[in-house]
A and B are shown apart, each in its own frame.
Chain A
Amino acid sequence: MISEKLPIGWTKGPSDQPNDFTFVSPDHDRFLKIGEFVTYEAKMDGKERQILSRIIDRQPLLQFPDSFLADPQIAPDQVAQLIGYDQKDHEQFVLIATIIGYFDEQLDGFINPRIPPREGSPIYIAFDELLAHLLSKKKTTQQGSAYIGSLLSREIDKVPVVLDVASLVSTHLAIIASTGAGKSYLAGVLVEELMSHYNRAAVLIIDPHGEYDTLAEMMNIEHFRTSDYRPEIKIFRAGQVKVKVAALEPGDFYYLLPNLSDRMIYLFGKAYREVSKDSRMNKGEPDRWTRAELELKLDDLGTSEEEDTGKGKSDFASTAQALSWRLDSVLKNSLIFDDQKHLNLNELCRPGQCSVLQLNEVDEREQQVMVATLLRRLLKARTETQKNRVDEGDELYLPYPVFVLIEEAHRFAPASADIVTTGVLKTILSEGRKFGVGVGLISQRPGKLDGDVLSQCNTQFIMRIVNPVDQGRVAESIETVGRDLIRELPALTKGQVIIAGEAINTPVLARVRTRYTRHGGETKDAPVEWLKYLSPIEQEKRDREAALLVSGGKKRDRKYK
Chain B
Amino acid sequence: MQLGKIVKSNSHIDYICQIYNLNDVPLPPTIEDYAFGSFVKIPINSKQQLVGVVYDTVLFNPDFGRIGPRLSPETDLAIFTPDYLNEKVILIGILTVGMLDTGGIIIQGVPRLSSTTDSIVEKMIDTEIRQFHYGNQTPRLGYISLLLSHSSPLTIHLLQKIVYNLIDLFPDKRNLLSVLKNDLAWKSQIAPLGGAR
Question: Quick one: given A66-B197, A67-B186, A67-B197, are A83 and B179 in contact (CB under 8 Å)?
Answer: no
> Roughly how many angstroms separate A84 CA and B179 CA in the complex, as a whole number?
15
Report if B77 contacts A (CB, 8 A).
no
Contact (Cβ within 8 A) A84 B145: yes
Report if B84 contacts A (CB, 8 A).
no
> Roughly how many angstroms separate A84 CA and B178 CA in the complex, as a whole number?
16
In this complex, what residue of B is CB-closest to A66? B197
Question: Quick one: given A66-B197, A67-B186, are A78 and B144 in contact (CB under 8 Å)?
Answer: no
Inter-chain contacts of B176 with A (CB < 8 A): 74, 78-79, 82
B-contact 0/1 string along A59-101, CB 8 Å cutoff: 0000001111011011000110111100000000000000000
Report if B62 contacts A (CB, 8 A).
no
Inter-chain contacts of B197 with A (CB < 8 A): 66-67
Report if B1 contacts A (CB, 8 A).
no
Report if B126 contacts A (CB, 8 A).
no
A-contact 0/1 string along B177-191, CB 8 Å cutoff: 111101100100000
Question: Quick one: given A82-B138, A83-B144, are A70 and B182 in contact (CB under 8 Å)?
Answer: yes
Inter-chain contacts of A81 with B (CB < 8 A): 135-136, 138, 140
B49-87 residues at the A interface, CB under 8 angstroms: none
> Roughly how many angstroms separate A53 CA and B20 CA in the complex, as a whole number?
71
Inter-chain contacts of A66 with B (CB < 8 A): 197
A21-77 residues at the B interface, CB under 8 angstroms: 65-68, 70-71, 73-74
Report if B139 contacts A (CB, 8 A).
yes
Question: In angstroms, how far is the closest chain B Cβ from the Cβ of A142?
Answer: 58
B-contact 0/1 string along A99-143, CB 8 Å cutoff: 000000000000000000000000000000000000000000000
Question: Quick one: given A66-B197, A73-B175, A74-B175, are A84 and B183 in contact (CB under 8 Å)?
Answer: no
> Roughly how many angstroms separate A67 CA and B135 CA in the complex, as a whole number?
22
> Roughly how many angstroms separate A65 CA and B108 CA in the complex, as a whole number?
22
Question: Quick one: given A74-B176, A74-B179, A78-B176, are A84 and B186 in contact (CB under 8 Å)?
Answer: no
Number of chain B interface residues as a range: 20 to 34
Question: In angstroms, how far is the closest chain A Cβ from the Cβ of B82?
Answer: 49
> Roughly how many angstroms separate A73 CA and B180 CA in the complex, as a whole number?
14
Inter-chain contacts of A74 with B (CB < 8 A): 175-176, 179
Question: In angstroms, how far is the closest chain A Cβ from the Cβ of B77?
Answer: 50
Question: In angstroms, how far is the closest chain B Cβ from the Cβ of A76?
Answer: 9
Give the interface centre of A65, A67, A83 by most chain B CB atoms within 10 Å.
Answer: A83
Question: Quick one: given A67-B183, A70-B183, are A82 and B139 in contact (CB under 8 Å)?
Answer: yes
Contact (Cβ within 8 A) B180 A84: no
A-contact 0/1 string along B129-170, CB 8 Å cutoff: 000000110111111110000000000000000000000000
Contact (Cβ within 8 A) B141 A82: yes
In this complex, what residue of B is CB-closest to A81? B138
Report if B111 contacts A (CB, 8 A).
no
Contact (Cβ within 8 A) B141 A84: yes
Inter-chain contacts of B109 with A (CB < 8 A): 84
Question: In angstroms, how far is the closest chain B Cβ from the Cβ of A134?
Answer: 47
Question: Quick one: given A81-B140, A83-B145, are A65 and B180 in contact (CB under 8 Å)?
Answer: no
In this complex, what residue of A is CB-closest to B173? A82
Q: Choose from A65, A68, A78, A83 the contact partner of B141 (Cβ within 8 Å).
A: A83
Give the interface centre of A65, A70, A74, A84 by most chain B CB atoms within 10 Å.
Answer: A84
> Roughly how many angstroms separate A65 CA and B182 CA in the complex, as a whole number?
13
> Roughly how many angstroms separate A73 CA and B183 CA in the complex, as a whole number?
16
Question: Quick one: given A81-B135, A84-B108, A84-B109, are A67 and B179 in contact (CB under 8 Å)?
Answer: yes
Question: In angstroms, how far is the closest chain B Cβ from the Cβ of A26?
Answer: 22
Question: Quick one: given A67-B197, A70-B183, are A84 and B142 in contact (CB under 8 Å)?
Answer: yes
Question: Quick one: given A67-B182, A67-B197, A78-B138, are A84 and B143 in contact (CB under 8 Å)?
Answer: yes
In this complex, what residue of A is CB-closest to B144? A83
Contact (Cβ within 8 A) A70 B179: yes
Inter-chain contacts of A82 with B (CB < 8 A): 135, 138-141, 176-177, 179-180
In this complex, what residue of B is CB-closest to A73? B175
Inter-chain contacts of A83 with B (CB < 8 A): 140-142, 144-145, 180
Question: In angstroms, how far is the closest chain A Cβ from the Cβ of B63?
Answer: 44
> Roughly how many angstroms separate A79 CA and B180 CA in the complex, as a whole number?
7
> Roughly how many angstroms separate A115 CA and B144 CA in the complex, as a whole number?
46
> Roughly how many angstroms separate A68 CA and B136 CA in the complex, as a whole number?
19
B residues lining the A interface (CB < 8 Å): 108-109, 135-136, 138-145, 175-180, 182-183, 186, 197
12 A–B contacts from the bound complex (CB under 8 Å): A67-B179, A67-B182, A70-B182, A71-B175, A74-B176, A79-B176, A79-B180, A81-B138, A82-B135, A82-B141, A84-B108, A84-B141
Please give 15 more A-B residue pairs, beta carbons under 8 A apart, in addition to A84-B108, A84-B141.
A66-B197, A67-B183, A68-B183, A70-B179, A71-B178, A79-B179, A79-B180, A81-B138, A83-B140, A83-B142, A83-B145, A84-B109, A84-B142, A84-B143, A84-B144
Q: Which 6 A-B pairs have the closest CB atoms?
A: A84-B142, A67-B183, A83-B144, A79-B179, A71-B179, A83-B141
